[in-house]
Amino acid sequence: MTDKRLKVRVFGVVQGVGFRPFVHNLAQKHGLVGNVCNKGPFVDIEIQGGEQKLAAFLRSLRKEAPARSIIRQIDTQELPIAQYNGFAILQSENTGGEVFPSPDIGICDDCKRELFDKNDRRYLHPFINCTACGPRLTILDEMPYDRARTSMGRFPMCKTCEKEYTSPENRRYHAQPVCCNDCGPQLEVIGNESCRCADINPIIAVRSVIRNGGIAAVKGIGGFHLCCDARNTQAVSRLRMLKGRPAKPFAVMVRDIDAAKRECYVDAIAEKHLDSPEKPILLLEKRCNGLVCEQTAPENPNLGLMLPYAPVQLLIFNYPDGEGFTDCLVMTSGNRGGEPICKDGNEAAIKLSSMCDIILSNNREIRMRADDSVMSLYKGKPYMLRRSRGYSPLPVTFVKKSSSAVFAVGGELKNAFCLGRGDKLYLSAHIGDLSGVSSVETLDDTYKRFKKLLRIEPEVLVCDLHPRYNSTAYAKMLANEQGLPILQVQHHYAHVAACMAENNLDGEVIGVAFDGTGYGTDGTIWGGEFLRASYDGFERISSVAPFAFAGGDAASREGWRPAIGQLAAVCGFEKTKEFSQALSLCSGEQFAAQTGLIKSVFNCVTSTSVGRLFDAASAILGLKRVSTYEGEAALALETAAERYLADGGNHCTLPETNTNDIIKSLAMKVLDGEQSGKLAYAFHATLAQVVLRGCEESRRRTGLSRVALSGGVFANRLLLQLCEKNLTAAGFKVFRHSLVPCNDGGIALGQAAIALYRK
């Protein structure tokens, strides 16, 4: 039997996931010789031996690849026989081309076990990791992924770690962030003098603060969290007060799956996602006998749960200091409202000191921030609300391969940007709301790191159409600086394109964008649109009925303002005044001021925003007149409707199809004494009818029958489900989001897809 020599090139996420050690062990197992090398965009293997052994090797390469790797393609090529001395892992080389840096990976079971094994040399080591788990994107400077190109570069390995790192049979073989108590980074307590003395263990100090009802800021993988005992109403209320966040739900980190099952309904699918290596925050239905206090997610039927994913978090829950400790912690991003998450000790000392009693930091630097990802489940599949740690920077593969490279800045709220090249679209981690200066600085910094990491040099910039967005200003500044062309894309068109790109669609679709607000091509505020859309362009076929409201930013928090605008649009000011008084929508002065503005068209906008429609309905049903966070009023409406269904309520709709008439009809029915839960449901079901009618009209006019549902309103799973049901029954093929958010966190993907397609 003669030997053969092959060159095998593996493309995909093959760096930072233990791929080379895996190849090494596989070669040895099959008695083959050769070498493996990281090239940045791919891994190259030279492999030589008997033909059958080679075939077995190639089969195993695909089948047994490390859990966290994603193989996109394997190319093989025969080479002339050469001389090898066994099988070697060669130094990484830098070559141009597509690169796939790995997202951060939650701690694996083996590391978890060692962490609490008294006889292990990494017993209680807060930075334990291996080739299968640990930080990746957040510590990375450049590809290829090697220790020197991460923030672990400044921590030389001790002799023992180095031995593990260089022993092929070890599970830390070539694990770049490998370290131990002797050579790794150190925890440090900042700010509080009494906790600073060297003889107090930082973990014990944090546990003691939390046990006594205090708040701790803890540096994790992608930034700081603020945490406190989720069972302690006083502690949670204090955190709300200090963070200036009266009602928006806090996420909860539970010690283990048992605690999760005590707090929420967790089925097998939910458990799989909770305990996945990505470790997202998963929205789950609360149980009534949980221990998490009401203040954590007030008036909310759901709770966002996650499991510990960094060793330091496990240590906080389980440190053997002989004291009891809570198994559920509020874990909210360590930032001031709307700002990016704090990533280093100095920043935390400045921004978080006033919100906590102790700050636990460490000297392993975070290169790129990554907030926790947030998702819910829809029909057993992930339905992403914030795509960040664990998912970014995995690319979306685009239907068309372009020779160009683009940078899409994204939207203004929930900002995430997107870099695209070839047929790959890379969404960044969550940046935040760009209304603040520090968020724009973070966007700039993250963009520069991201493009260096991915080696993408954009030739086109993309931003929103809104003339007063900071994102638009930033893109224009960059375009000026670098002499690059800029493409401005209408907000809802970008939403629809994001849904198309995620679903691998080409050609034309009927795009339904139900959203908060976005700047329209006619200068009015859109948000309830039926579009004929392809990557080449779009046409606005129709929209929900426009209405006027006043109050600028206040109107997006105070649902009574659009409510009055909508009532006035169909029944005049006199009748609206009667409704307003009977429903206690607002005070007499507020009414006079609001209608005065509408009449004079001063500080007043015309809008088709379905988001505002939800706010108006919520106000009219007496559920939420004023929101303290985005989506609060809509959530109250969805919750009331779901409760109506859970209590055995029947399907029902309102006869109206004009959205302003729907609001008037709701007002009349409330005054007739109709139950608010039933009306909340009828509102959802009627809107789903509006969507069906809009799509039917669009189909008549265009002949299209594929529908893409996008926009922040579709975070509402009841509406999504009703729309999908109606549309499918009427013969439409429905596409929706899954791993890319339907809200503004996803629009950069649509912007990038449009620009890349046109190049």
CA 442 – CA 444 distance, rounded (Å): 5
Question: Burial level of 289, CB count in 10 A (0-12/13-18/19+)?
Answer: exposed
Distance in Å, CB of 171 to Zn ion, minimum = 7
Question: Which CB sits closer to Fe ion, 348 or 531?
Answer: 531
Question: Which CB sits closer to Zn ion, 161 or 713?
Answer: 161
Q: Residue 744 binds which one of Fe ion, Zn ion, none, with CB within 5 to 8 A depending on kind? A: Fe ion
* Residue showing the smallest CB distance to Fe ion in the complex: 515
Q: Residue 515 binds which one of Zn ion, Fe ion, none, with CB within 5 to 8 A depending on kind? A: Fe ion
Per rule CB under 5 A, count of chain residues that contact Zn ion:
10
Question: Which CB sits closer to Zn ion, 308 or 741?
Answer: 308
Q: Are strands 460-464 and 547-550 parallel, antiparallel or unpaired?
A: unpaired
**Should residue 183 be labelled a site residue for Zn ion when binding is judged by CB under 5 A?**
yes
Distance in Å, CB of 498 to Fe ion, minimum = 10
Locate all alpha helices (DSSP H) within 541-655, ordered by sequence.
560-582, 588-600, 610-620, 632-646
CA 468 – CA 412 distance, rounded (Å): 10
274 closest CA partner among 382, 371, 369? 382
β-sheet bridge partners, residue 278: none
CA 254 – CA 264 distance, rounded (Å): 11
Both tokens of 227, joined, read: 């945490």
Q: At what angle do helices 659-671 and 560-582 cross, to 10 degrees?
A: 30
Distance in Å, CB of 121 to Zn ion, minimum = 8
Output b/e per residue, 62-75; b: 16+ Cβ within 10 A: eeebbebbeeeebe
Q: Residue 130 binds which one of Fe ion, Zn ion, none, with CB within 5 to 8 A depending on kind? A: Zn ion
Q: Residue 294 binds which one of Zn ion, Fe ion, none, with CB within 5 to 8 A depending on kind? A: none
Question: Which CB sits closer to Zn ion, 177 or 551?
Answer: 177
Q: Residue 183 binds which one of Fe ion, Zn ion, none, with CB within 5 to 8 A depending on kind? A: Zn ion
Question: Which CB sits closer to Fe ion, 465 or 679?
Answer: 465
CA 61 – CA 65 distance, rounded (Å): 6
Residue type at 566?
Q
Residue type at 428?
S
Question: Which CB sits closer to Fe ion, 638 or 744?
Answer: 744
Q: How many helices (H) and strands (E) does the chain have?
A: 22, 28
Piece of the chain touching Zn ion by CB under 5 A; list 173-181, 264-272, 280-288, 315-323: 173-181
Distance in Å, CB of 65 to Zn ion, minimum = 17
Question: Which CB sits closer to Fe ion, 442 or 490?
Answer: 490
Distance in Å, CB of 495 to Fe ion, minimum = 6
Place of tokens 């004494």: 673
Q: Residue 158 binds which one of Zn ion, Fe ion, none, with CB within 5 to 8 A depending on kind? A: Zn ion
CA 502 – CA 745 distance, rounded (Å): 13
Which residues make Cβ contacts (< 8 Å) with residue 528, sequence separation at least 6?
513, 514, 515, 543, 544, 608, 609, 610, 613, 659
Question: Which CB sits closer to Fe ion, 180 or 475?
Answer: 475
Q: At what angle do helices 588-600 and 560-582 cross, to 10 degrees?
A: 130
Please list every residue from 102 through 131 that binds Zn ion, using CB under 5 A: 108, 111, 130
Distance in Å, CB of 527 to Fe ion, minimum = 7
β-sheet bridge partners, residue 330: 228, 252
Both tokens of 370, joined, read: 């990554």
Distance in Å, CB of 555 to Fe ion, minimum = 16
Distance in Å, CB of 129 to Zn ion, minimum = 6
Question: Which CB sits closer to Fe ion, 339 or 515?
Answer: 515
Per rule CB under 5 A, count of chain residues that contact Fe ion:
2
Q: Residue 597 binds which one of Zn ion, Fe ion, none, with CB within 5 to 8 A depending on kind? A: none
Question: Burial level of 156, CB count in 10 A (0-12/13-18/19+)?
Answer: exposed
Site string for Zn ion, 141-170 (x = CB under 5 A): -----------------x--x---------
Residue type at 249?
P
Q: Which of residues 8, 14, 54, 133 is near Zn ion by CB under 5 A? A: 133
Q: Which of residues 182, 258, 441, 457 is near Zn ion by CB under 5 A? A: 182
Piece of the chain touching Zn ion by CB under 5 A; list 132-140, 401-409, 414-422, 704-712: 132-140
Q: Which of residues 14, 17, 137, 180 is near Zn ion by CB under 5 A? A: 180
**Is the backbone of residue 40 left (phi > 0), alpha (psi -120 to 50) or beta?**
left
What's the start-to-end Cα distance of the chain, in Å?
A: 52
Site string for Fe ion, 492-531 (x = CB under 5 A): -----------------------x----------------
CA 583 – CA 580 distance, rounded (Å): 5
Supply the DSSP string of 374-392, one letter for each residue.
EEEEETTEEEEEE--TTTT
Site string for Fe ion, 736-755 (x = CB under 5 A): --------x-----------
Question: Which CB sits closer to Zn ion, 109 or 285?
Answer: 109
**Should residue 299 be labelled a site residue for Zn ion when binding is judged by CB under 5 A?**
no
Please list every residue from 562 through 591 that binds Zn ion, using CB under 5 A: none
Place of tokens 């600086």: 481
Question: What is the binding site for Fe ion (CB under 5 A)?
Answer: 515, 744
The residues that touch Zn ion, with contacts defined as CB under 5 A, are 108, 111, 130, 132-133, 158, 161, 180, 182-183
